[in-house]
Amino acid sequence: MRTPNILCVAISLAITGKAAAQNTVAIQWEKTQRISRTTPTLQVVYNPMLRENSPIYKGTFQALKDLQASYVRYVPWFPYPHAAVVELKAPTKTGTFWDFAYADPAMEALMKAQEGRPVVINFSTTPAWMWKTSKPVTVDADPDRVTWDYNQGTELVDSTGRQVADYYARLIGWYTKGGFTDELGKYHSSGHHYKIDYWEVLNEPDLEHKISPQLYTRLYDAIVTAMHKVSPSTKFTGISVAYETNPAWFEYFLNPANHRPGIPLDAISYHFYGRPSVNTLPIGNYQYSFFDQANGFLDRVRYIEAIRRRLSPKTMTQINEIGNILRDQDYKEPIPPTYWNLAGAMYAYLYLELTKIGIDVAGESQLVGYPTQFPDVSMMNWTNSKPNARYWVLRLLHDNLGPGDQLKSTSLGSEIVVAQAFVTRKGRQLMLINKYDKDQTLKLPEGAQKISYVDESTGDDPYATRPVTGNEVTLKPHTVAIVDFN
């Protein structure tokens, strides 16, 4: 009769020991696994909330300035043609129609907020009149009215790409050389002499105009050749596809044999958004599809990196749109606060895993969204002009981690919490991410001093900091934290 009791005790102890192992972080501080080269940053997409008359204008650009991030990507985008396209009408024999009235203010505010830190600029939208369409594309007189059908046509009027290239050469001249000479020989003065570190050539060409890798590469070469003559110090980012699932883009573009002689392949970019699965309804279930999709994306990143290293190893990789997109029906109700923590945790997870792969830039998307304009990717609360949890996760990472950090050997037998130790400019630190919506208590190695974190309790406020007592911490759902060690 005693044997079963002994067996039960043994099983109980085994289960308890396994649970303890799953919640105990072990770090080998002396063992470096790799050196980080990854910059955490964000993208800023133009929309009316970036205009001076917006109620969140000051808070938005103050948040950007306070972040002090490098490689911020700025994209004036086609739904707002007045700000995205600076020549909405084709030139005639007697006049041209260059107009920077709506493009300049947001660009000026962005460059002021960046204060000389590296930027990636992408005026991604080509004038509609440069494409063959069944009828002229009209633009609403109201600059704040969204125009989703502006990008029309799949065949250029000038198949050589020269017309598009000349447009972009004048555009970069406006912002870097103080002005440009138009098609009729008239000089237009801007007074701008910005340093544009990177110019990204077009945006999501696999969607916008449905451009093939071959046509895109010809356009890239033409545009880069023309822009480089105007701004020799500017580097260029290519591809920028929405979907990284087609390897033909990377095989073709990264092969120097497919480019004109001397064309630089400074950087490539592509995007990722987690989406709810069709059979998950409440937002609380989205955690599963988001992280599953993130893992699938990471597998594709590794494959793309193998292509890059084989064909163009000196080309950097900028994954400059990372976020989540909800279903249309989710916009009918206020997005619950826990969503922002979940989305922030997914970005932190991808930042960490991209660091392990060796990606150069991990850019969170995007600074400002609002109802009718992708509210699910916003890093600003459009109701109170304060940054939300997605911003504060990025801020927490940026304030503590970056290129040059040493990733130390770390183990934690949990599938719920991700742990990674670093030695950074601040000393010994541990990054923790609770992926799911359950509290998790962890046992830490000796020497933990304080924990800085973003969780459901911090809301739209800055990340919080508290002492670590007894080498134990409890993480609320979707917490992202940095633990400092002595």
pLDDT in tens, 269-291: 999 999 888 655 566 778 888 99
> Nearest Cα to 274, choosing from 365, 210, 355, 202?
365
Q: What is the pLDDT of residues 32-77, one digit of tens each?
A: 999 999 999 999 999 999 999 999 999 999 999 999 999 999 999 9
Q: Which pLDDT value is given to residue 371?
A: 86
Reported as a single tens digit per residue, the pLDDT across 133-146 is 999 999 999 999 99
Find residue 40's DSSP bridge partners: 362
The CATH-assigned architecture of domain 23-33+408-485 is Sandwich (2.60)
Q: If you average pLDDT over residues 159-163, what whole number do you get?
A: 95
Domain 36-405 fold? TIM Barrel (3.20.20)
> Reduced to 3 states, what is the DSSP secondary structure of residue 485?
strand
pTM for this entry:
0.94
- pLDDT tens-digit map of 253-263: 999 999 999 99
State the pLDDT at residue 334.
Answer: 81
C-beta neighbour count of 43 within 10 angstroms? 24
pLDDT at 261: 97
> With pLDDT > 70 as the criterion, what percentage of the chain qualifies?
93
What is the predicted pLDDT for the residue at 326? 87
User: Mean pLDDT, to the nearest integer, of 309-324?
Assistant: 98
| 321 against 13, higher pLDDT | 321
pLDDT digits (tens, 9 = 90+) for 337-352: 999 999 999 999 999 9
| Cα 27 from Cα 196, distance rounded (Å) | 41
Could you tell me which residues are beta bridge partners of residue 188? 180
CA distance 370 to 382: 6
74 touches 44 (CB < 8 A):
yes
What residue spans in the chain does CATH classification 3.20.20.80 cover? 36-405
Give one DSSP letter per residue of 148-168, joined into a string.
TT----SSBSSTTSHHHHHHH
Distance between CA 183 and CA 91 in Å, rounded? 7
The torsion angle over the Cα atoms of residues 353, 357, 359 and 365, rounded to 10 degrees, is -20
223 within 8 A of 211, measured Cβ to Cβ: no
- Taking residues 398-425, report their average pLDDT: 97
For the chain, give every residue range classified as CATH 2.60.40.1180: 23-33+408-485
**Among the listed residues 87, 385, 122, the one whose alpha carbon sits nearest the alpha carbon of residue 234:** 122
Residue 83 has pLDDT above 90, yes or no: yes
DSSP bridge pairs for 156: 131
- Indicate the pLDDT class of residue 329, thresholds 50, 70 and 90: low
Between strands 72-75 and 316-324, the pairing is unpaired
Which amino acid is present at 216?
Answer: Y
Q: Residue 236: name the closest of 302, 167, 174, 168 by CA.
A: 168
Q: Is 236 in contact with 277 (CB distance < 8 Å)? A: no
pLDDT of residue 9: 40
C-beta of residue 90 within 8 angstroms of C-beta of residue 50: no
Burial class of residue 92 in the structure, from the number of CB atoms within 10 Å of its CB (0-12 exposed, 13-18 middle, 19+ buried): exposed
What one-character DSSP code corresponds to residue 376? G
